[in-house]
Chains A and B, each alone.
Chain A
Amino acid sequence: MRVLRSLSTPGKYVALIAYLVFLAFPLLWLLSTALKTPPEIARIEPTIIPENPTLENFRVAFEQQPIARALLNTVVVAGTSALITVVLSIPAAYVMARYRSAVSRLTMLWVLLSQLFPFILVIIPLFLVLRNAGLYDTQLGLIIVYVVWSMPFALWMLRSYVSGIPVELEEAAAIDGAGKLRALREVVAPLLVPGVVAAAMFAFVSAWNEFLFALVLLRTPELQTISLTLVKFIGADGVARLGPLAAAALVATIPSLVFFAIIQRRLVGGLLGGAVKS
């Protein structure tokens, strides 16, 4: 048995390394392509390490498209959307999980049904609604759309997290003299952090990567998000300027990586710690 256990450890590390390579390889290839000249990109034998690395693709990308401004626009839109989604979802999810009522059931039904609507079905009515409300070609309009689009899933996720927190904890806090608000703040909220972080990550990534809503609802070049800017490196007949596209795409991943690095620790924090002995 000890021999089997010791053999499995190297195996685990091999599997882990293989998985890391699988995850990281696309990013490495992106970096590699961003540093290559056009002839090297078009070579029949692909090279991982560029033979004549160049920063020309980055220069071209930044010179020909407003990458920095698009990134800032996307940070504002995605960050605000994620924040509003989470702030609105938390109290709603708590009520849905703790208080069974017709309203809760209807809300759950809306959450499920809304996931069935494909984008193409709603885009023109949505466009008309926003235009009539004076929100066409505004970041605010786009944020509202992203919040509405990601809230159902965030609600569903947070409701499950709240349901997983034993109600006995709140009762125990009440017995100890804590009011409802204090119980929520000091008992429930810390345990909800992983769920809140997961919902925020989902909303942020959805907004960050989203393309079609932004395409239809934004027109002014100064407002365009990074997904709209990246597609400008692709021309007719599917021809792409791969070098500048790779450079721009690489730069576009940085804010997401930073965001994930900051909040990913919270995913494993705040776990239940034997507060209730059953």
Chain B
Amino acid sequence: MKSIVRRATVVTAAMSTGLVLAACGAGDSSGTDDGPVQLTFQALAFQPESIEANKEIIEQWNADHPDIQVEYLQGDWASVQDQLVTAFEGGTAPDLVHYESSYLQDFADRGWLLDLTDMISDEMKDDIRDGAWDAVTFDDSVYAVPFLLDAQVIFANKALLDQAGIEVPAPDDPWTWDEFAEISRKLSDADTYGVAWTLKDPANRILNLALNFGGEFFTESDGASEVVFGDAEKEVLQRIHDQLYVDQSAAPEAIGMGGSDPLPGFFDGQYALLPKGIWFRQQIMDQAPEGFEWVTIPALKGESQTQAAAPQTVSIAAETEHPEEAMAFLEYLLNAENQATLAKGDWMIPASEGAAENEVLTETPDWPVAAASGAILEQAPFQTVRGYEEWKNKVANPAIEEFFANSLSMDDLGSKLVDEGNAILERYQR
């Protein structure tokens, strides 16, 4: 009997200890009535330099503003959508949220984001590029401040370019798509593919590049959006497909790659050209073997160099109890000087034109190419389509992947994108 009691006591003590520890481990997310305003800012900074930049900015703000204190929360790109949707639904979202413009309209429609139209200072409005503001404005309301921009450029193995006698183009004299195809063929041999197109989840990138030929994929009439698939939309798709299966200058194994997957082959000389976002410079810098020479090629030109401005943004949650204080911090966080630091941390282009001239950025590798890329970014039609994300995830990504895997014809691709796509869009317009 005594041993039963002893064992029961041990088990109960263990459970109680665990429960007490757990109960003590309760987050204190409420501020006191007296004392400074407490704000939470969730950032998606990932690179060490970017995390440090965010934290330093917040530390400086907290030191200068004892009555408005900001807590830094680090989110992550892989799970931010699930996390934010649940947080907004449950009324526990951070006061300030770092995300990207493609989700803003959906969040705004659900009433989760504060309308900042009348809260943004004229100084900030004038400093940030018009194209970036367009990407965060829906129904004449501004739901975020844009700050980081990406552009599709091409990274090249400099040694292979030199061997082939190919000159690096200047930002104001970019390669055309025809020249790019010709150069890819020239760079291809038994050991090397001219280009590696990483085409995992390709929809955003294809729609982005399609703007080079005026391909918009969506039209709007009477407030309703429709998917279109004409010659302009087919242009980039056909060119990449031809590189894969006609010229055979594009590596077929890269079709299923994403992220940093192509880097080993790029460093090994298996791929001469690597089309990627401007932020990818950081990955190459970090992982390149000693002595590897590389260069950034400006964005390609079709009828134009136009690409979609899809900035990373910071929004204020509609449920915040301190909107004015949150806006004050936002104005500080994304002023020109801080945007330069943040852009440097992520190797991206700042939406602030003042930040683009900061030497923190101008001293980074191939900055002239990055700076020139910022000037070609405009709002794209697909960025204002309700239901775009569902169309992209359910229809466009899988269908375009099938097309590049050569298991779907161009006509069948068009049918899928249009027929299945319009069925989805119709639900959002009821």
Which A residues fall within an 8 A CB radius of B? 38-39, 41-44, 60, 64, 73, 76-77, 79-80, 83-84, 87, 123-124, 127-128, 131, 136-140, 142-143, 181, 185, 211-212, 215-216, 218-223, 231-232, 234-241
Contact = CB atoms under 8 A, between A and B. Distances in A.
Contacts of B18: 76, 79-80, 83-84, 143
Chain A interface mostly helix, strand, loop or mixed?
Answer: helix
A41 B46 CA distance: 19
B27 A64 contact: no
A216 B4 contact: no
A269 to B, nearest CB: 17
Nearest to B46: A235
A234 B287 CA distance: 16
Contacts, number: 144
Interface string B7-41: 00001001100110111011111000000000000
Interface of B: 4, 11, 14-15, 18-19, 21-23, 25-29, 44, 46-48, 51, 73-74, 76-79, 82-83, 86-87, 89-92, 200, 258-260, 263-265, 267-268, 270, 277, 283, 286-290
A195 to B, nearest CB: 17
A127 B87 CA distance: 9
A139 B22 contact: yes
The 10 closest A-B pairs by CB, nearest first: A80-B18, A220-B27, A235-B46, A137-B27, A139-B22, A238-B259, A42-B287, A44-B268, A139-B25, A138-B26
Contact of A215 (B82, B91, B265): B82
Contact of B259 (A139, A143, A237): A237
B420 to A, nearest CB: 23
A5 B86 CA distance: 61
B46 A232 contact: yes
Contact of A138 (B25, B73, B267): B25
B15 A181 contact: no
Nearest to A221: B73
Nearest to B90: A127
Given A83-B18, A239-B259, A43 B29 contact: no
Given A64-B51, A218-B27, A231-B78, 14 more contacts: A44-B268, A80-B21, A84-B15, A123-B86, A138-B22, A216-B82, A216-B87, A219-B27, A232-B46, A234-B77, A236-B46, A238-B258, A240-B260, A241-B46
A196 to B, nearest CB: 12
25 contacts: A38-B286, A42-B264, A64-B48, A64-B51, A77-B22, A84-B15, A87-B11, A87-B15, A127-B86, A136-B92, A138-B22, A138-B23, A139-B22, A139-B23, A143-B18, A143-B22, A181-B4, A211-B79, A219-B29, A219-B92, A223-B26, A234-B46, A234-B77, A235-B47, A240-B260
Nearest to B44: A236
A80 B15 contact: yes
Contacts of A84: 15, 18
Contacts of B287: 38-39, 41-42
B342 to A, nearest CB: 14
Contacts of B89: 124, 127-128
Contacts of A220: 27-29
A129 to B, nearest CB: 10
B241 to A, nearest CB: 22
Contact of A39 (B15, B25, B290): B290
Contacts of A238: 78, 200, 258-259
A232 B47 CA distance: 10
Contacts of A38: 286-287
Contacts of B44: 236
Contacts of B23: 138-140
Nearest to B276: A237
A231 B27 CA distance: 21
Contact of B26 (A73, A80, A137): A137
A188 to B, nearest CB: 13
B50 to A, nearest CB: 9
B72 to A, nearest CB: 8
Contacts of B92: 131, 136-137, 219
A239 B21 contact: no
B301 to A, nearest CB: 24
Nearest to B28: A220
A183 B78 CA distance: 53
A238 B201 CA distance: 11
Contact of A139 (B26, B73, B82): B26
A87 B76 CA distance: 36
A39 B27 contact: no
B264 A44 contact: yes
A239 B283 contact: yes
A218 B283 CA distance: 31
B4 A185 contact: yes
A232 to B, nearest CB: 5
B254 to A, nearest CB: 14
Contacts of B25: 73, 76, 138-140, 222-223
Nearest to A185: B4
A276 B23 CA distance: 47
A77 B22 CA distance: 7
Contacts of B87: 216, 219
A76 B22 contact: yes
